[in-house]
Amino acid sequence: MTYVEGFLLAVPTANKEAYLKHANDAWPAFAECGARRIVESWGHDIPDGGVMDLKRAVQAQTDETILFSWFEFASRQARDDHNAKIMAHPSMEQMNQPPFDGSRMVMGGFQSILDTGRAGEMGCVEGFVLAVPRARKDDYLALAKKAADVFLDVGASRVVEAWEDDVPDGKKTDFHRAVLTTADEAVVFAWVEWPSVEFREAALPKLMEDERMKYDPSTLPFDRQRAIFGTFTTILDRSA
């Protein structure tokens, strides 16, 4: 199964091209050190939440855009080896001044528990971060599998659900604070890959009308009031 290094960050909107260049320039080193894929997706529709949302998760300013991004690796060991190698890579000396505030970047390692569909051409990412009771992991996975079938049936390319494995505390913010986890909860980093924003929007009515998406809110294996999510356009998708 895929191992995921997930990121949430706020980038000054005016720095979009500088950020894209930064990510493109860094990718060869990441691939050389063992990353299989990098995806950078730029905020398109980031709704406000009642309890938390993606903007508050990274303490975004009004002139910043949210990014939902990730690396994919063959395993946790491959991720760990990559991170050790990348810190010593010569190209990293040129990456010391990224075009965003790294102190507010949220990051962590996640082990996929569901990876269905096929990664391919994609122009849109629907990203989610949730807090799920550890004791209800199986219940959550069953619900995720049912939803993934519907997503794929209406035209999504791929669905990935990844369970907290190595999620550090941050100085300013982190994944745990992003969804206000309790001591008995784990963070889930999940996404749906779509061909385009327009395709996703056209598929939404079919998605919402499908009987498999009907549920009793009282039985959900997570607190939907603390779930944070948004829709993003893909600005970089590179594979080794």
CA angle 131, 102, 64 (to 5 degrees): 80
Express each pLDDT in 83-113 by its tens digit.
Answer: 999 988 887 776 668 899 999 999 999 999 9
Least confident window among 20-24, 210-214, 224-228: 210-214
Express each pLDDT in 40-62 by its tens digit.
Answer: 999 999 999 999 999 999 999 99
Distance CA 36, CA 151 (A): 24
Chain mean pLDDT for the chain: 95
Report the predicted TM-score, pTM, of the whole model to 2 decimal places.
Answer: 0.96
Q: Given this model, what pLDDT does residue 218 score?
A: 86
Report how far apart, in Å, the C-alpha atoms of 147 and of each of 111, 113, 156, 234 are. Answer: 19, 14, 11, 22
Residues above pLDDT 70, as percent of the chain? 99
Average of per-residue pLDDT across 139-167: 97
